[in-house]
Amino acid sequence: MLTAMPVKMNKENPPLTTVFGKAKWFAFVDDGGSVEIRENPYAGAGPKTVAWLIGLGVDTIVTQHIGGNPFMVMKEAGVRLFYPGEGRILVGQVLEKLKHGSMEEITVDNIMRFAHH
C-alpha cells in the first residue's frame, strides 16, 4: 500500500494543502508508516500530477479538496480517496486517522462536497 497526500512544504510533519494538482509537495506513506516528502515535478498540471501518482503505485489518496476529473481518473485506476477534515491538518494526524479508519471515503455519491468550484 502506498498513500499520498498533498502538503504545503518539505519539512517534518507538514500540514496538508487544499490544492491538489497544484501542490508542490506530496507526502508518501508506505505500509510500514515511513513518510517521505517528494517534490511534485508536475505542480500546476493536474492531469500530469494524477498520472505521476498512479505511475508511482499510489493506491490511496488523502486530500481535503479534489476536482471531479482527477477524482474520476483516480477511481478508474482503482485508487481510493479519503477526506481528513477541514482546517489545518498535519501528516501525523492523517497517519492516526488512517490507523483508526476514521476518515470519510470520497465517492461518486459525495464528490461534489470536495470538488473545487
Q: How many CB atoms within 10 Å of residue 13?
A: 14
Q: How confident is the model at residue 116 (pLDDT cuts 50, 70, 90)?
A: low
CATH code for the domain in which residue 97 is found? 3.30.420.130
Q: Compute and round to an integer the Cα radius of gyration of the chain.
A: 13
* pLDDT tens-digit readout, 34-68: 999 999 999 988 899 999 999 999 999 999 999 88
Residue 68 identity (one-letter amino acid):
G
Counting the structural domains of the chain, the total is 1
How far is residue 20 CA from its own chain's centroid? 7
pLDDT at 46: 87
Nearest 5°: CA angle at 71, between 67 and 75? 175
Per the structure, the complete domain to which residue 8 belongs is given by 3-113
Cα(94)–Cα(106) distance, integer angstroms: 15
